[in-house]
Structure 1
Amino acid sequence: MTTDDSASSFSASPIGLAVLERRLAQDLGYLGWPAKSWMPPREVDGETVLDVAIVGGGQAGLAAAAALAQQGIRAVIFDRAPAGREGPWATTARMETLRSPKELTGPALGLPSLTFRAWFEAQFGTEAWAALDKIPRLQWMDYLVWYRRVMDVDVRNDTTVTALDPLPDGTAVRLDLRTPAGERRVLARRVVLATGRDGLGGPAVPAFVDGLPRAKWAHSSDDMDYGRLQGLRVGVVGAGSSAMDSAATALEAGAHSVELLIRRPDLPRVNKGKGAGVPGLTQGHYDLPDELKWRIRHYINVLNVPPPHGSTLRVSRHANAFFNFGCPILAVEPQGEALRVATPKGEFVFDFLIVSTGFQVDWAVRPEFAGIAAHIRTWKDRFTPAPGDEDRELADSPDLGPAFEFQENAPGACPGLGRIHCFCYPAALSHGTVSGDIPAISDGARRLAAGLASLFYREDAAHHWANLEAYSEPELFGDEWVPAPPPHERG
C-alpha cells in the first residue's frame, strides 16, 4: 500500500513543491541530517570562533555547507551578492541553457529529492522533464535558491571579504568583512574559498587591449548591459563557450554585425574533458602521480573544449555573424571613435571589442589575499613538466593537500595557511574537476567535508579523549541477569 505522496511521484502530473519538500525533510530525518554537533566551542580573547567560514554562496559553497552539515559541522557563508544573485547564473552568464546534460545530479549529495529533476518534475511533471533538452540558465538559479532554503544554509549576503589572514599562532583565520552595517571582523577555524572560475584571480586580459579606452572593450565575464551594442560593429575574440554566448547576446541585442576572431584554423569538435568523466578519475585524480595529473589536464587544455552545439547555432543563425578562422589579433589601435584591428586575414574596424580569453590565477587583482599570496605553494614551485608540455594555467595552480588546503612554499613562514581550503576551479590540477563544475560537485563537497571532519578531530583529540574517558551513560544496569551459583551448589 502506498501513500498519496509516493503514488503521486509516479504520475505525469506535478506533485507540487510542498509534497517534495515533505519527502526531502523525511529523507533528511532518516539520515540524521544535519548530524548532531560535536565540535567544541572556541573563543579567542572572548570572541566566538566560527567552525567554518565559506567565501562564496554559489553552487560550490552551498554544496560544501550542506555536506559539512551531514558531518555535524556548522558553516557560515559570506557572499558579496544580494540574495538570489550568487554565482554567475543571473549576472554574467549569458548562455540560454546549461552546458551539462540535464541528468547530472549536481550538488544533490546523493539525495534524490534534492536533485534539479525532482524540483522540476514537482512543478511541471514528468512529461515536461522528458521534453526538456537542457536546463535553462535562470531556472538553475531558481533551483539553487530553493536548495539554499530547504537545506537551511546560513548565507550572509551583501558581505564582501576584504582581507583573509591567519592568526600569528596559526590557530584560526581572521576575515575582514564589509557589510551593509559597516566593517566587521570574524574568526574561523577553517575557511573554504568557494569563489568560482576566477576564484584566485580574474579575467585573463590580452596585452593588445592595454591602452585602449575601457569604454570600447569588455571581457566576456564583465557584468555589462549588452543593449548598448545595438547598431554597433562588434568583434569577439575567441571561440569557446563564453565567446559564443557573448556573440549571440550581442546579436540578439541588435548589433550591426559580429565578427568572431578565432586563432585556430577550425573549432574543436570533441569535448575531451567529458570523455574523462568516469568515477575512477573523479575519486582517484588526487592520488595519481604528478606526471599523469599534469598530462591529463594539459591534454584537455591544449585540445580545448568546443562550444556547445546549441550555443554555436545560436550565433550562426544570424546572417550578420561571421566566423573568421586563423585570425589571431596582431594589433589594435584607436581610430577616431572606432578600433582598427590587424590580423593575418586583414584589418577589421569595430565599434566595440569583447575578449573571451578565460581566467587566470592573479593574486594582484585579489587584495583580500594579499596576506597569504606570497606563501602559497604552486605547482611551478615543485614540478617541472616535460619539454613542450609547459602550461601557465597549470604552473600557477596551487599545490593543495588532501582536504583542498593551501600549503606553504616555505614551511613555517605562514602558520595557519593550511586552514584555508581552495574549493574552486584552480584546485583542478591537484584534485580534478570536483570543486565547481556540475558533474562532480557533490563528490568534491563530500571529500572536503570528510577531510575537514578528520582535521578537526585530530586537532581536538585531547578534548574528545577527555569526553571518552568521562562518558558514563550505562548500557546495562546490573539487573538484567541473575548470577549463577557454582555448579556444585546447584540442586
Structure 2
Amino acid sequence: MNSSLKALEDRLSHEMKLFSYPARAWPLKHQAEDGTSMVDVLIVGAGQAGIAAAFGLLREQITNVLLIDRCDPGQEGPWVTWARMRTLRTVKELTGPDNGLPAAAFRSWYEARKGAGAWDELVRIPKEEWMEYLLWLRDYLALPVENNTSVERIEYAGEALRVTLETPRGSRVVVARKVVVATGIDGAGGPNIPAFAHCAPRHLWAHSSEPVDFTALKGKRVAVLGAGASAFDNTATALEAGAREVRHSVRRPRLPEVSALRYLEFAGFFRNFRMLDDARKLRFMRRYFALPTPPPADTLERCRAHANLDLRLSDGWTAMQAAGDGLAITTPNGTFETDFAILGTGFKVDLAKVPYLAPLVPDMLFWRDRFTPGSDRVDTHIANYPYLTPGIQAVGRTPEADRVLRNLHLLNGAGLMSEGPICTGINGMPWGVSALVQAISRDLFQADADVFYEQFAAYDVSDPNEGYKPAAVAR
C-alpha cells in the first residue's frame, strides 16, 4: 500500500470517528424458533449496491449484517465480467458507496493512488478501477461477505425470513429479520430472451449479459441485436477481437439521439419520486419506459472506427435457426447467415423467474393490482413490477403476508417502477441507500420499542459525568 492510500485510510478512520456518535449498536438480539441467533439484515449481492447498503447500515449502528454473493471474490457485479464498455457511463463526480464520507469517495481513492492532476485529466471512470475501488472500500470496512454462496429459497419464519443458502460447504440456513435483494438490473427476472432464440442451438448465441469467448470470434461473422448501450458494447468488443464482420441490427428506423431520461437526474426526483401517489408515478413511468435511450456517443465511435461494421436499421429479427455450422437469421429485409449471435435485448422483470423469490410471489402485490393495464407494450411491462413501499419493501396481499413481506427489500431492477431510478445504477444510489437504511432502522426500532421502553424505565446507571464542575473562566 502506498503512503497516500494509507493516509487516506487514516483520514477515513478519523471521519468515521467524527460521525460515530452515538456509537452503540442498538438492535436487540433475536433468536429463531430453533434457538439460533438471527441476522438483523441479510444482503443478497455484494456488488456496489450491497456494499453501499451495508456501509449505510453500519453508520446507523446496525452491525449484525451478512452479505452473500454467488460469484468468486472480486467478480461481484458486472464490471469485470459482462460489462463490455470501457468506462462507466456516468460523470466522474458521482457518489454513492461513500455514504457521505469524503474520504470514502471514489475521487479521494483515485487521487490517493494517482494524484490530483490525474483526476483533473480523467474524463470517465474506467470500469476496472471502479471495481478496484469497491473492493478497497469493502476490505477497509471489513464487511462480512460470503462468496460462492447463493440463495436456494426464502420461506416465512414467523415475521422473519428463513433463507436457505447453498455454500461451498453445503446448505445452511440463516434466519434474518430483514432481507435486502441487491442484485442489480439483472436480478429481478434475468435476461430478456426473445422467443425465436430458443429455436437455435444454444452454443451459437448468447445474451449480452452472459460470458462470451470473444477470442474465438476472431475471423468469424457475428450478428448483434439491440439499440441499447450494451448491444453496441458487444459489437465494439467483437470488432476489436478481430471478428471478420459484425452485422448490428436495430429494430428502430433510426437511432435515438436525445437521452430525455437525463432530465430526471436531480436530487428532488431521486429523493421524492417514491413518495408520489400511484397516478403520478404511472404518468412519469409510462413516459420513462416509452422513451428510447440512445447508445453513448463514445460507444458508437468505438464501433464506427471499424470498416467491417454493418449497421442495419429497421432490421429486427423474427427467426433464428441452425444453418450448417452457423445460424440463419430472418428479418423483414430477408435472411442472412452468421457464425454467432449476441442478443442485446435487455432484462425482464418477472419475480416468478427468480427461483428463491418465486414461492413468495403469490402473496405479493404487483402494479397490475393497482391499475388497469392497457394492451400496449409499456403497460404490459409496468404490470409485472412488484408494488413497493417508499422503504423499498414488498407489500403483501393480506395483512398476514404483509407483516412478513415488509421485511423483504428489493434494491434491484424490481424497484424502478415504485421508487424511480434509485435501486439500480450509481446515479441515484445515495438516495436509494438512504431510503433503505431509514426504513430498516425504523422497522427494527418499532419492533422492539416496548422493550426499549422497559429498559429505559429500569435504567439506573449513574451518569459518569455526575459531579463534574467546569473550570472557572478567566475574566
> Corresponding residue for 1:49?
38
Deviation at 1:42, TM superposition (A): 0.9
> Corresponding residue for 1:285?
273
2:67 aligned with 1:77: yes
Deviation at 1:35, TM superposition (A): 3.6
Contact 1:235 1:261 in 2 (8 A): yes
2:356 aligned with 1:378: no
Identify which of 279, 295, 298 aligns with 1:310: 298
Identify which of 57, 75, 85 aligns with 1:68: 57
Report the CA distance shift for 1:430/1:478 in structure 2 as closer, same or farther (over 3 A). closer
2:404 aligned with 1:427: no
Report the CA distance shift for 1:34/1:217 in structure 2 as closer, same or farther (over 3 A). farther
State the one-letter code of the partner of 2:118: A
Deviation at 1:205, TM superposition (A): 0.3
SS in 2 for 1:438: coil
Report the CA distance shift for 1:125/1:389 in structure 2 as closer, same or farther (over 3 A). same
SS in 1 for 2:227: coil
Deviation at 1:34, TM superposition (A): 8.9
- Give 1 or 2 for the bigger CA radius of gyration: 1
Deviation at 1:71, TM superposition (A): 1.0
Report the CA distance shift for 1:247/1:35 in structure 2 as closer, same or farther (over 3 A). farther
Identical-pair percentage: 39
SS in 2 for 1:123: helix
2:119 aligned with 1:146: no
State the one-letter code of the partner of 1:371: P
Deviation at 1:331, TM superposition (A): 2.3
SS in 2 for 1:428: helix
Report the CA distance shift for 1:33/1:468 in structure 2 as closer, same or farther (over 3 A). closer
Identify which of 151, 157, 166 aligns with 1:178: 166
SS in 1 for 2:79: coil
Deviation at 1:307, TM superposition (A): 1.1
SS in 2 for 1:162: strand
- Higher mean displacement: 143-152 or 469-478: 469-478
State the one-letter code of the partner of 2:185: R
Aligned counterparts of 1:391 and 1:77: Cα–Cα separation in 2: 35
Output the TM-score relative to the length of structure 1. 0.91
2:110 aligned with 1:110: no
> Corresponding residue for 1:242?
230
> Corresponding residue for 2:343?
355
Q: Deviations over 1:224-269 (max 9, x none)?
A: 2221211111110102110011111111111111011101111111
2:310 aligned with 1:325: no
> Corresponding residue for 1:366?
354
Deviation at 1:359, TM superposition (A): 0.5
Identify which of 148, 152, 155 aligns with 1:162: 152
Contact 1:55 1:194 in 2 (8 A): yes
Aligned counterparts of 1:414 and 1:286: Cα–Cα separation in 2: 19
2:25 aligned with 1:37: yes
> Corresponding residue for 1:275?
263
Deviation at 1:68, TM superposition (A): 0.6
RMSD: 2.0
Deviation at 1:411, TM superposition (A): 3.9
Report the CA distance shift for 1:33/1:302 in structure 2 as closer, same or farther (over 3 A). farther
Deviation at 1:414, TM superposition (A): 6.9
Aligned counterparts of 1:237 and 1:270: Cα–Cα separation in 2: 21
Gaps of 5+ in 2: 470-475
Deviation at 1:424, TM superposition (A): 0.8
Contact 1:34 1:70 in 2 (8 A): no
2:427 aligned with 1:439: yes
Q: Deviations over 1:400-435 (max 9, x none)?
A: 112211111344357512211111122011111112
Deviation at 1:295, TM superposition (A): 2.2
Counting only pairs closer than 5 Å after superposition, residues 337-348 of structure 1 correspond to structure 2 as 337-348=325-336
Q: Deviations over 1:40-92 (max 9, x none)?
A: 11112221101110000000000110101111112110111111111111111
Report the CA distance shift for 1:46/1:313 in structure 2 as closer, same or farther (over 3 A). same
- Higher mean displacement: 72-81 or 471-480: 471-480
Output the TM-score relative to the length of structure 2. 0.94
Report the CA distance shift for 1:230/1:30 in structure 2 as closer, same or farther (over 3 A). same
SS in 1 for 2:27: coil
Deviation at 1:282, TM superposition (A): 0.8
- Higher mean displacement: 342-351 or 154-163: 342-351
Q: How many equivalent residue pairs?
A: 466
SS in 2 for 1:416: helix
